[in-house]
Structure 1
Amino acid sequence: MFRTKDTGRGHRLLTGRGYKWFVSVLAAGSLLLSLFLAPPLLSIVWGATLLAVLLRGIHSTETLEDHIEKPYSLLDAFYQHSPSAVTILDADGTIRRMNASGEQITGYTEGEVQGTPAADYLVPDGKQKTKGLFEEVVKGSTRSFRSAVIHKNGYHVDLESTAVPIRSGSHIAEIVIISNDTSSARRSEEQIRHMAYYDDMTGLPNRRLFIRQLEASLNSLTGSAAAGKRLAVFFIDIDRFKMINDGFGHDYGDMLLLQVAERFIRCLSEEDFLARTEGDEFALFCAGYTDEKGTDRVRELAESLFRVLLEPFTLGQYQLHITASIGISLVSEEESSAEELMKGADMALTRAKEKGGSNYQLFNSQMKSASLEKLTLEQELRRALSRSELLLHYQPQMDIETQRIVGFEALVRWKHPERGLVPPGQFIPFAEECGLIVPIGEWVLSEACRQNKEWQDAGYEPPPVSVNLSTRQFLQHNLTGRVAEVLQQTGLAPSQLELEITESCTMEVEYATEQMLELKQLGVKISIDDFGTGYSSLSYLKKFPIDKLKIDQSFVRDIMTDPNDAAIVASIIAMTGHLSLKVIAEGVETEEQLQFLHRNQCDEIQGYYFSPPLSIDKVEQLLKGRLP
């Protein structure tokens, strides 16, 4: 079919139509290869060179014969040394030629693959797709595609290929396939994807993938085919996990999370999806259960999660028991998106934590309302601080023997612009929860000292003022410096200030003792407030540098009707006498209570029997009555 010419060097070259066909094949293939591999400038150079060779072969027979060796050498070198695998097939898919790069990629030599079907080397999963592409190429179309072949050593090699049909007259004579090994790039893509969507420690999906899968499952619930199907989202948090990290170290904490993840996986069905979203928090959703089952499936899953945690966990030489809190939200008309379901589960988890942990809570609309109320309250409290909406009332403290006023306790009130005067019980607990108790407490300290000094400057003789310190305030390392600063700014003598700390502040005995000693060096007095409701050990009580104990009103309230309360109060009074401490009883409301306390040698009282908390104007009227 083709004419050849003897070069005189031991081989023959194609001439005429044969040469033009051969050049066309390699020129087309090389041009495509250059477009895939070379930078734009190099692509242009390659394309221009090959096109010029082809045009010279077509338009000048004399030039072709004179310069036939030069293009042949160029194309042969390109074929043999191309970094891409070049494979030439016949129209039936049988391999005729394969260059050195093809040998390197597949592990086979050209001789081993010649005359064999190319499909024999494809991975089974991709044969059908590649077969369809090959049929299109045989019909005359150029196709680019991804495939994978089996290396001679048995592993898979990912390829990006372009198949170019080569015509001979009216039919396709051969097919040139140019391929690049993309295995390394594919592995990098998979690694990046894994890092983006999976937790690197437990191997579980992360929050990002959890949201994607949750959205996909929610979409599948739409339509008549999914009628009656339900879905529930769980947020799971390990109780007191920070204590484990602090006590054993983060390595042991990670070890525990790995074991927890493995146990949780045991509880899952095929339609459940578990993820580690952050820290010690896991999330899962269960789908596919029907309305007829109601929440039974949800409750069963929650109970199974608790059961797998009952067995102790082994952390090195330690065995540890743990519990978890679970918040659950169910798909409903109000909560139907992934964001709403996750938000509901998080609110329910918070409620489970507030109830002490080791329980599960189902989300309901009241939780959302409570959260909105808390957010509103926080914003209003911040506004109250900035707009001076807080004020102080003062409750007198009376010496039982002399019936004289011996102190004022400063009690904060909130003058709300819409709700009027708000008592502390309605906002102080929340202020402690959200951290606003510290700035509120600092304002109370500063204002109480300022007011007491102002009364002194006005000619009154006010007794010392007592100010409550929250646990957060007491645990601040700069507390003594802050108190000293307030005394200096207001000019109040330290002897005119008494600081009341709650019994819970004294749980860290060494720190509490050191903090109290520093405060005592300033010259202020210290009392333990709400005594009997906390956890102080009596053996430590004698070590604290305190001046007074305040018996909590919960014991005083029923001393006339409850023998146990009467015995507790009498014992506290007797104990403080032996420790040379003064004792004051809170919440005294009746003459009978006063007489009981007097008989048992209580020093002071505070309560509505003597006086309710008073505004500044009423305190001044009271102080005027004390003037000589």
Structure 2
Amino acid sequence: MIPPVVVGLAACGSLFEVIRNLQPPPLVVFFSCCALLVPWLLYTHFRHSATLAKERGFSAVYRELIDQVNDAILVISAKSPHRILECNQAASAWLGYSYDELLRVEVGKIADESQIMELMKRKSSPGSAQTEYREIHYRTKDGRLAPAEVNIRMIRLQGQRALLAIGRDLTERKRMENRIRHMAYYDDLTGLPNRRLFREKLEEVMVAARAQNGGAAVLYLDIDRFKLVNDSFGHDYGDMLLMQVAERFVRCVGEDDFVARTEGDEFAMFYAGVTAKERLEQLAEGIYHSLEQPFQIGQFQIHITASIGIAHYLGEQGETADLMMKYADIALSRAKETGKNTHQIFNSDMNKISLTKLTLESELRQAIRNNEFMLVYQPQVHLEKGAIVGMEALIRWNHPVRGLVSPGDFIPIAEETGLIAPIGKWVLMEACRQNKQWQDSGLPAVPVSVNLSMGQFLQHDLKGIIHAVLEDTQLPAQFLELEITESMTMDVDFATKSLKELKSLGVQISIDDFGTGYSSLHLLKKFPIDKLKIDRSFVRDIMCDPNDAAIVATIISMTHHLNLLVIAEGVETREQMHFLRDNQCNLIQGYWCSPPLPAAEMQKMLKKSHSLPA
């Protein structure tokens, strides 16, 4: 802007020339004009000086204000070449340019120019929103690309159209979003995808298979006896094993296939394009082969196997990823039931079995709430004295619809679902309560034996649970006998420690079903036990199978050398009883003496001091 005083002086010079050329010069007019112009010139000069000072002050405040904003502010010319007209310090810091450098930069160097032009075109169209939010990528001076969220609107600056962009850097937010996504879709330990991502990718493969009349194989895998690795070496070693297993499984899949860790020691795979059933067997064999070489865990070499469940998808309508994963899981459960290091392919019969199990589990939970369980008692008879010297408490489920359900039909489900803990505790409490009641009423004081399941035996505070039961029922400890199976003694150190803790309470301990498991008479010397129970499978054929007869006679003889009592279960005939007595077996139990009896019938037998049939 040209200062007014300059304009005034120019006007005075022109007027002086006109007056000077008058003949004769009218001095009066000249001095009168000067008297009028001089005050006006002075006034306009000082007013303009004040305006400039005010504008400079406002500009400084404006500059300081926008430089305090953390978001980048850019004003971009609407005319080509779309230079930056104004910016703040945050924009300079983001982009890596100085203020002066930025004012010489074309927008194409820091952002996608076509995107900017498209925005300008749209913002210029009638009816467009005044403000628009957009995510873009900007380019710094050193060439790095970074994400930003930009608020854009058209403005007018000094009479010309321009684009005002206020941006916020999204680098940290995107990094956090990616981290959250990784946590949501990937396993932290192995780096493999998790169940959620596996399901999404499987759904995509199934959609493609339906469209192309293709197929897919879904596999669930579980490391056999992985808990033993954790218990023996610790969880750190278990984690190391899982990471190495994951690496081998990754090598088992191709580009179009997928592997994930779903939970614990369970993995999942799917193979796209599998239509032939024979291919399923090949896939399972490939996985077995990948596990053949031992795993090096610290200073230890570990051999492992896996159980595999397979579901085959052939493009059927109505099948979903969730359903195929469920089928593979059911097949895996079936594989684990039938043995380790094997695989099963899902079929419809498995679904029925699974549904039956789910129904039974639900009914078991209801049975616990409704107190539908009862105990029956089978007497144990001394062969020489012919008297009842003990009894075994056996659980039955008095189902409101099915009637009495034997433990073989529901105990495995109870162990699998964790319901064995409350059921087992109820059995202990009820057996001890009933025995104490009989003793208080004057009946012969004999021990009651209770079977412990594997799940109960592995409880971390089993000693405390047994102690609490004895305290609550006031039954002397010597009248409670705990029966464990041979399979529970595989971990000799753990079994020895646990049995010693139980023995310190004063209870009796026996090993049930002896001869069918893994223990040896040599190892039995380490265990604080009182009695061995010969399994019924040997007793059944002692009169017709010389091998069984020899085995039973040998067990009886060696048990006596260990100063233990021996009891034979499943005795059903007079001949069996005489054979056992002739071989100096101490006690017998079975239908020859009595079937399992309800509490009222057992009470009558105790009153009669029942003796062995002759």
What's the TM-score once normalised by structure 2's chain length? 0.76
Q: Work out the CA distance in 2 between the residues paired with 1:162 and 1:329.
A: 53
Amino acid at match of 1:272: D
Q: Work out the CA distance in 2 between the residues paired with 1:415 and 1:497.
A: 25
For 1:164-243, list aligned pairs within 5 A: 164=154, 166=156, 175-180=162-167, 182-184=169-171, 185-218=173-206, 226-243=211-228
Q: Work out the CA distance in 2 between the residues paired with 1:204 and 1:484.
A: 46
Residue 597 of structure 2: SS of its match in structure 1? coil
The aligned counterpart of 1:35 is none
Task: Give the C-alpha shift of residue 536 in structure 1.
Answer: 2.4
The aligned counterpart of 2:54 is 70
Q: Work out the CA distance in 2 between the residues paired with 1:620 and 1:109.
A: 100
Q: Work out the CA distance in 2 between the residues paired with 1:380 and 1:424.
A: 14
CA 1:258–1:379 in structure 2 vs 1: closer, same or farther (change >3 Å)? Answer: closer
**Does the alignment pair 1:535 with 2:518?**
yes
Q: Work out the CA distance in 2 between the residues paired with 1:524 and 1:246.
A: 27
Q: Work out the CA distance in 2 between the residues paired with 1:521 and 1:210.
A: 51
Task: Give the C-alpha shift of residue 295 in structure 1.
Answer: 4.2
For 1:287-436, list aligned pairs within 5 A: 287=272, 289=273, 293-295=275-277, 298-331=280-313, 336-436=319-419
CA 1:333–1:516 in structure 2 vs 1: closer, same or farther (change >3 Å)? Answer: same
Task: Give the C-alpha shift of residue 269 in structure 1.
Answer: 3.3
The answer to whether the 8 A contact 1:79-1:86 is kept is no
Name structure 1 gaps, 5 residues minimum.
10-61
**Does the alignment pair 1:575 with 2:558?**
yes
Q: Work out the CA distance in 1 between the residues paired with 2:168 and 2:444.
A: 93
Percent identity between the aligned chains?
50
Task: Select the residue among 152, 157, 163 that pairs with 1:162.
Answer: 152
The answer to whether the 8 A contact 2:395-2:407 is kept is yes
CA 1:336–1:615 in structure 2 vs 1: closer, same or farther (change >3 Å)? Answer: same
The answer to whether the 8 A contact 1:99-1:110 is kept is yes
Amino acid at match of 2:347: N
Q: Work out the CA distance in 2 between the residues paired with 1:464 and 1:252.
A: 44
**Does the alignment pair 1:152 with 2:149?**
no
The answer to whether the 8 A contact 2:206-2:215 is kept is no
Q: Which moved more, 1:600-609 or 1:278-287?
A: 278-287
For 1:435-474, list aligned pairs within 5 A: 435-456=418-439, 460-461=443-444, 463-474=446-457
Residue 411 of structure 1: SS of its match in structure 2? strand
The aligned counterpart of 1:276 is 261
Q: Work out the CA distance in 1 between the residues paired with 2:77 and 2:3.
A: 27
CA 1:450–1:348 in structure 2 vs 1: closer, same or farther (change >3 Å)? Answer: same
The aligned counterpart of 1:5 is 2
Task: Give the C-alpha shift of residue 563 in structure 1.
Answer: 2.7
Task: Select the residue among 112, 121, 133 that pairs with 2:119.
Answer: 133
Amino acid at match of 2:81: G
Task: Give the C-alpha shift of residue 377 in structure 1.
Answer: 2.2
The aligned counterpart of 2:246 is 261
Task: Give the C-alpha shift of residue 131 in structure 1.
Answer: 4.6
Q: Work out the CA distance in 1 between the residues paired with 2:506 and 2:297.
A: 50
Residue 215 of structure 2: SS of its match in structure 1? strand
Give aligned pairs, total. Answer: 561
Q: Work out the CA distance in 2 between the residues paired with 1:100 and 1:383.
A: 70
Task: Give the C-alpha shift of residue 575 in structure 1.
Answer: 0.8
Q: Which moved more, 1:411-420 or 1:462-471?
A: 462-471
Q: Work out the CA distance in 1 between the residues paired with 2:524 and 2:452.
A: 18
Name structure 2 gaps, 5 residues minimum.
7-45
Task: Select the residue among 66, 74, 77 that pairs with 1:89.
Answer: 77
Amino acid at match of 2:251: R
Q: Work out the CA distance in 1 between the residues paired with 2:471 and 2:82.
A: 98
The answer to whether the 8 A contact 1:205-1:274 is kept is yes
The answer to whether the 8 A contact 2:77-2:162 is kept is yes
Task: Give the C-alpha shift of residue 360 in structure 1.
Answer: 3.5
Residue 533 of structure 1: SS of its match in structure 2? coil
Larger RCO, structure (CA 8 Å, separation 6 or more): 2
Task: Give the C-alpha shift of residue 353 in structure 1.
Answer: 3.2
Task: Give the C-alpha shift of residue 551 in structure 1.
Answer: 0.9
The answer to whether the 8 A contact 1:157-1:181 is kept is no
The answer to whether the 8 A contact 2:84-2:106 is kept is no
Task: Give the C-alpha shift of residue 571 in structure 1.
Answer: 0.8
Q: Work out the CA distance in 1 between the residues paired with 2:507 and 2:157.
A: 104
Amino acid at match of 2:586: D
Amino acid at match of 2:364: L
Any idea what the Cα deviations from partners look like across 1:354-389, whole Å, max 9, x if unmatched?
A: 344433433334333333322332333344344443
Residue 5 of structure 1: SS of its match in structure 2? coil
Any idea what the Cα deviations from partners look like across 1:437-476, whole Å, max 9, x if unmatched?
A: 3443443344444444544555554754433333444455
* CA RMSD after TM alignment: 4.1
Q: Which moved more, 1:83-92 or 1:109-118?
A: 109-118
The answer to whether the 8 A contact 2:78-2:120 is kept is no
Residue 427 of structure 1: SS of its match in structure 2? helix
Task: Give the C-alpha shift of residue 272 in structure 1.
Answer: 2.7
Q: Which moved more, 1:190-199 or 1:556-565?
A: 190-199
Residue 528 of structure 1: SS of its match in structure 2? strand
Amino acid at match of 1:164: M
What's the TM-score once normalised by structure 1's chain length? 0.75
CA 1:542–1:369 in structure 2 vs 1: closer, same or farther (change >3 Å)? Answer: same
CA 1:95–1:560 in structure 2 vs 1: closer, same or farther (change >3 Å)? Answer: same
